Structure 1
Amino acid sequence: MNFFERLYDASITIGGHGITWREIIGNLFGLASAIGGMRRQVWAWPVGIIGNALLFTVFFALGFTAHGGQVMFGQAGRQVFFILTSLYGWWVWQRNRSGKRAGAPAVRPRWATSTERLALLGFWLVAVVLVQWISRMIGVGWTPPSWYFWADAWIFVGSIIATFAMARGLNEFWLAWIAVDLVGVPELIHFEYYPSAALYAIYAAFVIWGFTVWLRVSRTSDRGADLNEELVSS
């Protein structure tokens, strides 16, 4: 085994369950990206992309090596769409930052309009039906519980919705993450990905905090003020 193979397979055991350093570092990058997103900083996007790339290797390969071929397509595939959607968000926030002072927030949080909200919800529901059907047609190489395809489709589509809403500066992106985690954490526990489930649960707690921060900023923004300095110091 050469150096790169050892680096790729490096892991620790927590509570009797192995977890690769790729998974830990990938989730830490995800948490750092969420912090950057809460503060509305452009660097949140490239940091998140690095985390997505690491987590893709975890969920795509871990099934073959540790769970008898239980490849979690939704968990792995959503990392690819994270990267694609994050490239869009990176471009939007970078464009918004043009001409602003250093450290200024890239977006001003707001609630989606009724039309935007209906469009996001409609896409989520339709896409979940489509994605779970496609997953059933493709198959996963093992016999999953009946709810698996629906749960994975919910996670897959909800993650895309959340990332897109973040790019648009919509408060709803935090709520979408909460909806994803409410399904994602139990799924990970069911398939005995306990370390990942714990990391996702910690992330979910942070998401609730981030939502309150953006909500406070959006309320103040309606009165024409910017709380960036307050957020940076908090």
Structure 2
Amino acid sequence: MIALLVDWLNSAAVTSFGTTTSWAEVLGFTSGAVCVWLVARQSTWNWPIGIANNLVWILLFYAAGLFADSALQLVYIALAVAGWIRWIRGRAGNPLPVTGTSPEEWRWLAGTGIVGTAALTVLLHTATSSTVPFWDAVTTALSLLATWGQVNKRWESWLLWIAADLVYVPLYLHKGLTLTALLYVGFLVLCVRGLLEWRRSSGLPALATTASR
């Protein structure tokens, strides 16, 4: 049953301009775009949709023998479950508010990001066939830290997602994945919208207003 599902996910969904797009890519982009849109609107439904997206990639990565990538999806699922619970419970019986990241949290994020990137670079270089281990590590670290910020509704989490997407786009172009790179440009636009909406929700002035001062 699982083998049939994996085969279907890897099968061609559409072919355009000589490029074939699999059902996995179609489902991945669609669910990912819906998830980002729901996060921007602070809907708790973003978490189950994100988990469904992770489950699809677990099947594909495992079938392809990419066990480290498959395991990473389990980390994302664990964070998603934590975020789902935290958003539902809220704070003191009220919805969890959007807040800023404290200086102490930034120091923790910076330290964790540096150590995590270094460790992942070594791991990817020695245990995988990655041709760009450092940049793969950077995007993974940024994505995990951004997910932590999303779980806790820190508006700056969007800055981390934007930073990750700015690396992902040229990275996918380098790997010859032109269509995927274009899809991530779409994610980048959604992230900018999410940043603006969460800043407004947190009570901060709009970026344009701040910049004009």
TM normalised by structure 1 equals: 0.76
Q: Is the alpha carbon distance of 1:57 and 1:204 closer, same or farther for their aligned partners in structure 2, counting shifts above 3 Å?
A: farther
Structure 2 residue 29 is matched with structure 1 residue 16: no
User: 1:56 offset after TM fit, Å?
Assistant: 4.0
- What displacement does 1:124 show? 0.7
Matching residue of 1:91: 85
- Secondary structure of the 1:219 match is coil
Measure how far apart 1:139 and its partner are: 3.2
Letter aligned with residue 51 of structure 2: I
Give the percent of matched residue pairs that are identical in Structure 1 and Structure 2.
26
Gaps of 5+ in 2: 206-213
The 1:125/1:3 distance shift into structure 2, 3 A limit, reads closer
Write the distance in 1 (CA, Å) between the matches of 2:20 and 2:128: 27
CA contact (8 A) 1:27 1:51 kept: no
- The alpha carbon displacement at 1:72 in A equals 10
- 1:84, distance to aligned residue in structure 2 (A): 1.8
Provide closer, same or farther for how the CA distance between residues 84 and 128 of structure 1 changes in structure 2, counting only shifts above 3 A. same
Change (3 A) 1:5 1:28: closer
* Distance of 1:5 and 1:77 partners within structure 2: 17
Partner residue of 2:173 out of 189, 200, 204: 189
Cα displacement (A) at 1:53: 2.0
- The number of equivalent residue pairs is 202
**What amino acid sits opposite 1:7 in the alignment?**
W
> Does the alignment pair 1:114 with 2:103?
yes
Give matches, 1:70-149, under 5 Å.
78-96=72-90, 99=93, 106-140=95-129, 144=131, 148-149=132-133
CA–CA distance in structure 2, aligned partners of residues 77 and 170 of structure 1: 26
Q: How far apart, in 2, do the equivalents of 1:6 and 1:128 lie?
A: 33
Tell me, in whole angstroms, the C-alpha distance in 1 between the residues paired with 2:91 and 2:22.
36
- The structural deviation recorded for 1:15 is 2.6
- Tell me whether 1:43 sits opposite 2:45 in the alignment: yes
RMSD (CA atoms): 2.6
How far apart, CA to CA, are the structure 1 residues paired with 2:194 and 2:36? 8
Q: Deviations over 1:158-182 (max 9, x none)?
A: 1111111001010111001011111
- CA 1:204–1:149 in 2, change beyond 3 Å: closer, same or farther? same
Distance in structure 2 (CA, Å) of the matches to 1:14 and 1:53: 27
- Whether contact under 8 Å (2:32, 2:53) holds in the other structure is yes
Distance across 2 between alignment mates of 1:35 and 1:10: 27
User: What is aligned with 1:55?
Assistant: 57
Q: Does 1:208 align with 2:197?
A: no
Q: Structure 1 CA distance, aligned partners of 2:99 and 2:185?
A: 26
Q: TM-score, with normalisation over the residues of structure 2?
A: 0.83
Alpha-carbon distance in 1 for matches of 2:116, 2:21: 31
Q: 1:128 to 1:113 in 2, by over 3 A?
A: same
Q: Which runs of 5+ in 1 are unaligned?
A: 101-105, 222-234
